[in-house]
A and B are shown apart, each in its own frame.
Chain A
Amino acid sequence: MQRRTLLSTIGLSTLGAMAGLGRPGAADAATPGVSATEIKIGNTEAYSGPASAYGAIGHGLVAYFKMVNDQGGVGGRKINFITVDDGYSPPRTVEQTRRLVEQDGVAFILNALGTPNNTAIEKYMNAKKVPQLFVATGADKWGDYQHYHWTMGWQPSYRIEAAVYAKDILANKPGAKIGILYQNDDFGKDYIAGMQDGLGAKFKAMVVKTASYEVTDPTIDSQIVTLQGAGADTLLVAATPKFAAQAIRKVFDINWKPLFFMTNVSSSVGAVIKPAGFDKAVGVTTVGYAKDPTDAAWANDAGMQEWRGFMAKYMPNADLSDANYVYAYGVGVTTMQVLRQCGKDFSRANIMKQAANLHDLVVPTLLPGIKINTSPTNYHPIRQMQLQKWNGKTWERFGQIVGA
């Protein structure tokens, strides 16, 4: 008799725990980082080190959540956004992430920067079942919902982007001899894979030369010379801002005039085109998915006015030509949509469930026509983009919104 009581008690409590998942209040106590008054969100960023230009994203997110809190927060709670420096060094990302998860007890990690950095923590995050949301990298691997249920990308994947360039080349310059300059890591190699996707069987015949560089190289002059020497008349550059700016200038200096495709990563006017020289970049083609802050077309755009209002109030001293702030705002808007959809249940499971349940979300800083969609089998929130060409003053969009 006694034994049966015991068993049924266990049974009841298990049932209760299962039911508790959907019950507001019960889950709150169980979810680390979520109290009655606040939600703790963690973030690692490259405030120092070789990628520190991206530190602007972290500053942008801090300002964004300050605005959210001033407007009353979400679900009656304020956001406590804890962002720390990892110097773009993966071992430090691991150390800082463990600190955020185990000591600070954040509910989830948002928009951690860098492909190698997120790679270093993805196993840990998934073992711990802590959401690793909207990582700040476009590597294709961040859509792997089957193996990494708790990890989700945000921006279009590099691989999809490269396939868009390949299709454009096939349509407009079918006889092209393509040279590719790429950073020797996951980021750069995604562009090779994307070109293979897009060109298919023609890849071997059309790509005459690929050249790689390491982030430690002082210049990429030699690689550009190699590509030109191989007879390429079409150039794809998958390089981070510093090397992209060098590439634009070197191509101009040696009087080479290839059809020039540049990764979206290095399309920032303030960080790449301006240092390289406005006139030297004429003709460079890239894709865009966000509105460019320097584009006069958005001067009276409601979405960008909203962003400018935010910048004026919360980041009055920031450089308005830096597209990283636009990026941060877009990530912030997406995150808030997820949290609002959570209702009163801020358990990690529900946060992940809602992140994979976004439908036609319109973000004011994304190009018109681009919508955010996710599902349990689609972890690439932004899959659309549009080709654009530098005309000496601004990025001029052309063609349709394309995507995969």
Chain B
Amino acid sequence: MDGLLHQVFSGLATGGIYASVALALVMIYQATHHVNFAQGEMAMFSTYIALTLIQAGVPYWWAFAITLVVSFAIGAVIQRVLMTPMANAPVLASVGIFIGLLLMFNSCAGWFFGYTLKPFPSPFGEGKPMLAGYLSRHELGSTAVTLAVLLSVWAFFRFTRLGLAMRAAAYNPASSRLVGVNVDRMLALGWGLAAAIGAIAGMMVAHVVFLEPNMMSGVLLYAFAGALLGGITSPMGAVIGGFVVGVLENLGGAYVVGAELKLSLALVIIVAVLVIKPSGLFGRTIVSRV
């Protein structure tokens, strides 16, 4: 029983990681209707920026804020420079760009910052584990941060005109243009926000898995499974999906399929969702008129 509880809590802790990356995936999907494969690597790169600032003596939360701004700028610039020319190109062209970005960010991070493992500080302090050793302070803190991000993303899309305009720009660029939405600006904004959310995820994850250029490669796949499970159109769904994948993966690995098949479990979830309920648990079915 004790072992089971331990597995559940450690699953929730890793699930929090998946949830935060899944949120960034939902953000970019809501804003552009693409899934950016380079999201994880961009987040990793942002985390290196944060670490560089912290090592230069900038206090944690200042470094956090500056990193968000810089990441936002990087995301928006990428959209403007690389994605705008692809606006009318087939989806495969965009996928090509995403994979190119993935390789670029990965190699550049290695080149600039080296491949050696680096510890990343936690703003919540080291301290002793809480809840009878089940959760660390950082795990609690980062879960709170993920929930806060979730709340803001949800409120942004639900209550602000900007959020509405952004969704419209993604759904139907032509009509949005006709009603006066600046579609290009919306897309750039979406990329920027997704990059910023990714940066938050990166800074929370890095303390747990240690910072190195390949930190996100494994995480992204699980996050993708989480986002799909919850529904890629729903921020709330993505977060719940992330936690569910984390716990399922742990319990499955420990008691059902064995640790060798943990990754396969994530892939099975992806395939199963796509076959049985493509919109996910909380997502809306998208109908496009042709």
Which residues of the partner chain B approach A222 to less than 8 Å between Cβ atoms? 7, 10-11, 14, 249-250, 253-254, 259
The answer to whether B41 has its CB under 8 Å from any CB of chain A is no
The answer to whether A292 has its CB under 8 Å from any CB of chain B is no
Contacts A218-B209, A222-B11, A242-B209 hold; do A270 and B259 have CB atoms under 8 A apart? Answer: no
The answer to whether A211 has its CB under 8 Å from any CB of chain B is yes
Q: How far is the CA of A184 from the CA of B212 in the complex (A)?
A: 21
Which residues of the partner chain B approach A399 to less than 8 Å between Cβ atoms? none
Which residues of the partner chain A approach B110 to less than 8 Å between Cβ atoms? 47-48, 52
Proximity string of chain B (106-120) to chain A, C-beta cutoff 8 Å, 1 when within and 0 when not = 110010001111110
Checking A218, A225, A242, A253 against B136 with a beta-carbon cut-off of 8 angstroms, the contacting residue is A253
CB-CB nearest in chain A for B264: A214
Checking A55, A216, A219, A319 against B263 with a beta-carbon cut-off of 8 angstroms, the contacting residue is A216
Which residues of the partner chain B approach A55 to less than 8 Å between Cβ atoms? 115
Which residues of the partner chain A approach B249 to less than 8 Å between Cβ atoms? 222
Checking B116, B213, B254, B258 against A270 with a beta-carbon cut-off of 8 angstroms, the contacting residue is B116
Which residues of the partner chain A approach B253 to less than 8 Å between Cβ atoms? 222-223
The answer to whether B13 has its CB under 8 Å from any CB of chain A is yes
Which of chain A's residues 275-314 have a Cβ closer than 8 Å to chain B?
275-277
Contacts A48-B106, A48-B110 hold; do A221 and B10 have CB atoms under 8 A apart? Answer: yes
Checking A226, A246, A319 against B7 with a beta-carbon cut-off of 8 angstroms, the contacting residue is A226
Q: How far is the CA of A226 from the CA of B136 in the complex (A)?
A: 18
The answer to whether B214 has its CB under 8 Å from any CB of chain A is yes
B210 near A245 with CB under 8 A, answer: yes
Q: How far is the CA of A55 from the CA of B111 in the complex (A)?
A: 11
How many residues of chain B get a CB closer than 8 Å to chain A's CBs?
42
Q: How far is the CA of A239 from the CA of B126 in the complex (A)?
A: 24
Binds A, one of B55-63, B69-77, B184-192, B216-224: B216-224
Proximity string of chain B (9-21) to chain A, C-beta cutoff 8 Å, 1 when within and 0 when not = 0110110010000
Q: Which residue of B114, B116, B254 has the most chain A CB atoms within 10 A of its CB atom? A: B116
Which of chain A's residues 63-105 have a Cβ closer than 8 Å to chain B?
none
Which of chain A's residues 200-233 have a Cβ closer than 8 Å to chain B?
211-214, 216-219, 221-223, 225-226, 228-229
Q: How far is the CA of A164 from the CA of B265 in the complex (A)?
A: 36
Proximity string of chain B (91-110) to chain A, C-beta cutoff 8 Å, 1 when within and 0 when not = 00000000000000011001
Contacts A52-B115, A184-B260 hold; do A219 and B129 have CB atoms under 8 A apart? Answer: no
Q: How far is the CA of A368 from the CA of B208 in the complex (A)?
A: 38
Which residues of the partner chain B approach A211 to less than 8 Å between Cβ atoms? 259
Minimum CB–CB distance from A253 to chain B (whole Å) comes to 6
B209 near A219 with CB under 8 A, answer: yes
Which of chain A's residues 35-57 have a Cβ closer than 8 Å to chain B?
47-50, 52-53, 55
Minimum CB–CB distance from A53 to chain B (whole Å) comes to 5
Checking B2, B117, B222, B263 against A275 with a beta-carbon cut-off of 8 angstroms, the contacting residue is B117
The answer to whether B6 has its CB under 8 Å from any CB of chain A is yes
B119 near A50 with CB under 8 A, answer: no
Checking B3, B205, B210, B258 against A225 with a beta-carbon cut-off of 8 angstroms, the contacting residue is B3
Query: What does DSSP make chain B's interface, helix, strand, loop or mixed?
Result: helix
Which residues of the partner chain A approach B254 to less than 8 Å between Cβ atoms? 222, 225-226
Q: How far is the CA of A228 from the CA of B11 in the complex (A)?
A: 16
The answer to whether B125 has its CB under 8 Å from any CB of chain A is no
CB-CB nearest in chain B for A274: B119
The answer to whether A255 has its CB under 8 Å from any CB of chain B is yes
The answer to whether B180 has its CB under 8 Å from any CB of chain A is no
The answer to whether B133 has its CB under 8 Å from any CB of chain A is yes
Q: How far is the CA of A81 from the CA of B3 in the complex (A)?
A: 53
Q: How far is the CA of A229 from the CA of B133 in the complex (A)?
A: 13
Proximity string of chain A (225-259) to chain B, C-beta cutoff 8 Å, 1 when within and 0 when not = 11011000000000001100110000001110000
Contacts A55-B115, A218-B14, A219-B209 hold; do A229 and B3 have CB atoms under 8 A apart? Answer: yes
Minimum CB–CB distance from B77 to chain A (whole Å) comes to 24
The answer to whether A322 has its CB under 8 Å from any CB of chain B is yes
CB-CB nearest in chain B for A322: B116
CB-CB nearest in chain B for A85: B107
A218 near B222 with CB under 8 A, answer: yes
The answer to whether B33 has its CB under 8 Å from any CB of chain A is no
The answer to whether B80 has its CB under 8 Å from any CB of chain A is no
Q: How far is the CA of A49 from the CA of B109 in the complex (A)?
A: 11
The answer to whether B34 has its CB under 8 Å from any CB of chain A is no
B260 near A50 with CB under 8 A, answer: no
The answer to whether A271 has its CB under 8 Å from any CB of chain B is yes
Minimum CB–CB distance from B27 to chain A (whole Å) comes to 21
B210 near A255 with CB under 8 A, answer: no
CB-CB nearest in chain B for A324: B116
Q: How far is the CA of A49 from the CA of B214 in the complex (A)?
A: 7
The answer to whether A272 has its CB under 8 Å from any CB of chain B is yes
A53 near B115 with CB under 8 A, answer: yes
Checking A218, A253, A272, A277 against B117 with a beta-carbon cut-off of 8 angstroms, the contacting residue is A272
Q: How far is the CA of A225 from the CA of B254 in the complex (A)?
A: 9
CB-CB nearest in chain B for A256: B133
Contacts A52-B115, A226-B3 hold; do A221 and B14 have CB atoms under 8 A apart? Answer: yes
Interface residues of A (CB under 8 A from B): 47-50, 52-53, 55, 184, 211-214, 216-219, 221-223, 225-226, 228-229, 241-242, 245-246, 253-255, 270-272, 274-277, 319, 322
